[in-house]
Structure 1
Amino acid sequence: MDSIMQRIRYKTFQLTCLLLSLFALPVYAQALTLPEALILAEQHSPALRVASGQQHSSVAALDTARAFPNPEIEYGSGRSHLMPTTPQPGRNRLLAFSQPLELPSVRGARQRAAEAGIVSGSALLDDARLNVYAQVKQAFLDIQRRESESQLAEESRALLGQIHSRVKLRVEVGEASRYELIKATAEMLAAENVAQSAEIKVTQAKDRLRALLGTPLGDTFDITPAPLLPEDLPAIASLREELLTHQPLLKAAVAETQRATAKLEQERSLRIPQPTLKWSAEQHPDVNLWRIGVALPLPLWDRRAGPIGEAQANLERAEAEQERIRFNVLNELDQAYGRYQIAQRQLYIFETGLMQGAETALKVAEAAYRYGERGILDYLDAQRVVRSTRMDYLNARYELQFALVDIERLRGTLLAGEHP
């Protein structure tokens, strides 16, 4: 009976582990799409969780800044030992109440600093989301590029395998020299190596996407190719204006400067003594007393020179950091726009003559080889030129897409178009 119960418990444990494993991992019956990848990044990205925590902290800091200082109440009781001339000893009691009063200048500066902190936290969260979305889009596009490269490499391997078979047959019947077979074999082996390397690069690209999403996708998964971004962009001057208006990192830098300014105002306002309103009542065996008054600290030894100096230095640092970020993001935009122009120019060259020229040269070399006018070397060289041209065209096409994603990130338009 005990053995039967143990087997039942073991089977129940196995079933529970199986169900937990099924619910723990996301299962995709279909290929992963880009919107689904962005949703996963939004839910699981560690960078977004960190930025979200900072934003929540800044919201809580505003509650702290709005809070009034707590009052203080004091109660005491004891025995009174009176002089011989007084009636008799008895108990005494004390009840005191004090309320610190904040000057409006101090309270207003503190709240302005906290509000600027909220703006900064929200902007940093948007910047983190922009970076994660851009990285996910680029990783998604990189998988598409690697799969296209693998497809081209597989086509080249199949074609060179056919060429090798034909050359081998011609050598066996004595129509070609042994050297042609050696050359065809070398080209076929090189094509096999390129095809295997391309398959590995596809796996590596998927691993990078899996790491960015922050969630397990299983050992193997497929993607649905995302549509390529439109290639037309406004002029660089318009892009700079959009960047200066919408870039979250720049907004955060401006908010940090405003917060540093409010902190400096707060420290300067604290040089004025902050009053404390006091009220007390005392009960003695022979007399009852009550008092009301105001206490003011005397700024004789501490004129807050240190805190004001620190706040002034922090303001200067924030202003310098704002300028540094402004120059950096503008420089990043110029660099991305330059890559965009280079890739666009390369595509134009490929599409207006280079691709067609390489394919025409291949057809001529193939016809000459078939009729015995040229050797295998010319035919294989023409094949190599076509493969290289197609690969360069593919790389230029995706380099243009990577540059467009970077420009989207810098413009701040990626959030409006891709927020899940």
Structure 2
Amino acid sequence: MKFKKSPISLALLLGGASAIISLLSSVGCQIYQPKALDPGTTAISFGKRRLDDPQLRDAIISSGHWSRGRGWPPSPWRLRELQGAALYHHPEIAVAKARGATMRAGIETAGTRPNPTLSIGPEYGNKAGAGVSPWVIGFSLDVPLETANKRGERTAQAIAASNSAALSAADTAWTVSSGVRAALLELEICIRRLDLLEEQRGNDADLVSMVSERVKAGEAPKTDLGVYQTQQGRDLLDLADGRSKLDAARVKLATALGVPAISIRNTAVSFGALDHFPAAPAESSLRKSALIQRSDILGALEDYAASDAALRLEIAKQTPDIHLNPGYTFDQGQSKWALGIGFTLPIDRNAGPIREAAAKRDESAAVFERLQIGIRGELDQALAAYNAERQRLREVENLVTSQNQQFEDAERLSKAGEGDRLTANAARSLVLQAKLARIDALGQAQQSLGRLEDSARISFDEN
């Protein structure tokens, strides 16, 4: 090989190296695809979300949240259908899915073998003899060979992290569904309270009218009228407060669904029977589900497995990796081949990373125990609250029955001419107050049922 002009030869050499790099880079490579993220576009897209979207219907059916025989869109929307809509629209579900995809991609990354390195090292000697190339041209490869199953430990760590992300997604789905239940319950309570408050206002208006006539006739003092007028003023305040809470509850439900509030403004929804309390599993089953089978418990176990795999990986790094170094050199007319071998020398035996990984594993264990202890307390509180609220509901039910009986007696006497209408309406007012207390008690009992289901991650209706 003879080079007449050194600069040209060097340019050719560098050009050839560049061509090799370009060739290697183009083989099986993926091309970057830009994907713009525009806040204005995402805001417009969110504003277009509707519950009558045909794609939403398909998603609800595929998720098993559709009731057979119902038309589209359903009217009213029931709890399971709304939960299916939330699993389709809610942003936390999208984040959980994206995180799961990231963790799954990490498994492929962890299982990839280290890439070899190609080195090209041209040299130029200006004292070469006549007819002998002044160039020394050579290349070498560095082929790393991992030992002690390091790739396997990395893969095990990535698989555990992916499993943890999948379990976190399942827990997110439960949390989103639970949020829909709580928001729909609050809306149902607000609607029923408002109906009773309207009824109470009408009854109190009748009472004011009756007492007013008695005052005019001199049969009752004005102080009696003032009492009923004061109550009538309270009715107006209660109605205003009830309407405000109803509007807020609709917005809360929309947020729980992941849709704009305007999209459900005129949508009929129904929680169902407020007095329906399905039988809870035995306490032993609840504790087993809460402390052993909950998705966040299983996820914490996967986090511990990932930290354990990370520790095994750091321990494996004490074993030197092997580097094969084959090479070729064209040295001023002579071809020379070489085969080298090298080792990564962990002089400190990787002591620092091992201690750090061991500490992280201990931290994962402590986090798991904290979670399990917290869940135990959560379950105990939920059980106590559920039993207490059910007992309170029974007492309020007895009060409603008692007030109803008194009202029926007063109504019967009034119709028989043995009593007056004022007494009957006053008794009816007490009935309405008892019914308002019953609505509140039903709401509290249903909330406590929801918290109990949350603590065990079990829907009692499905057992």
TM-score of Structure 1 vs Structure 2, range by shorter chain: 0.7 to 0.9
Q: 1:26 maps to which residue?
A: 50
* Structure 1 Cα separation of the partners of residues 88 and 202 of structure 2: 43
Q: 1:387 maps to which residue?
A: 432
* Structure 1 Cα separation of the partners of residues 111 and 159 of structure 2: 10
Shift of 1:83: 7.1
SS at the partner of 2:219? coil
Shift of 1:184: 1.7
* Structure 1 Cα separation of the partners of residues 340 and 432 of structure 2: 92
Letter in 2 for 1:293: G
Shift of 1:330: 1.9
Shift of 1:358: 2.1
Q: 1:77 maps to which residue?
A: 122
SS at the partner of 2:102? helix
Change (3 A) 1:275 1:251: same
Q: Is the CA contact 1:164–1:185 (under 8 Å) kept in the aligned structure 2?
A: yes
Cα deviation 1:346-405 (Å, max 9, x = unaligned): 222333x322212233455677899898997x8787555433322222122122222222
Letter in 1 for 2:366: A
Cα deviation 1:213-243 (Å, max 9, x = unaligned): 2321417233321324533112222101122
Give the length in aligned residue pairs: 395
Superposed, which structure 2 residues align to 1:215-226 within 5 Å?
215-218=259-262, 220-226=265-271
* Structure 1 Cα separation of the partners of residues 324 and 259 of structure 2: 57
* Structure 2 Cα separation of the partners of residues 149 and 106 of structure 1: 64
Shift of 1:263: 0.5
Shift of 1:106: 1.2
Superposed, which structure 2 residues align to 1:222-301 within 5 Å?
222-228=267-273, 230-300=277-347
SS at the partner of 1:98? strand
CA-based RMSD: 3.1
Letter in 2 for 1:60: A
Query: Is 1:172 paired with 2:216?
Result: yes
* Structure 2 Cα separation of the partners of residues 415 and 364 of structure 1: 40
> TM-score, normalised on structure 2?
0.77
Change (3 A) 1:225 1:312: same
> TM-score, normalised on structure 1?
0.84
Higher relative contact order, chain-length normalized (CA < 8 Å, sep 6+): 1
Letter in 1 for 2:369: E
Gaps of 5+ in 2: 1-43, 53-72
Letter in 1 for 2:50: P
Query: Is 1:144 paired with 2:188?
Result: yes
Using the aligned pairs only, state the percent identity. 23
Instruction: From 175, 179, 191, give the equivalent of 1:135.
Output: 179
Shift of 1:96: 1.1
* Structure 1 Cα separation of the partners of residues 231 and 158 of structure 2: 67
Q: More deviation in 66-75 or 339-348?
A: 339-348
Q: 1:47 maps to which residue?
A: 92
Query: Is 1:111 paired with 2:155?
Result: yes
Q: Is the CA contact 1:31–1:221 (under 8 Å) kept in the aligned structure 2?
A: no
SS at the partner of 2:115? coil
Change (3 A) 1:248 1:274: same
SS at the partner of 1:218? helix
Q: Is the CA contact 1:41–1:213 (under 8 Å) kept in the aligned structure 2?
A: yes
Instruction: From 332, 335, 339, give the equivalent of 2:381.
Output: 335
Letter in 1 for 2:334: V
Instruction: From 142, 146, 150, give the equivalent of 1:98.
Output: 142
Q: More deviation in 323-332 or 280-289?
A: 280-289
Q: Is the CA contact 1:130–1:414 (under 8 Å) kept in the aligned structure 2?
A: no
Query: Is 1:356 paired with 2:401?
Result: yes
Letter in 2 for 1:203: D
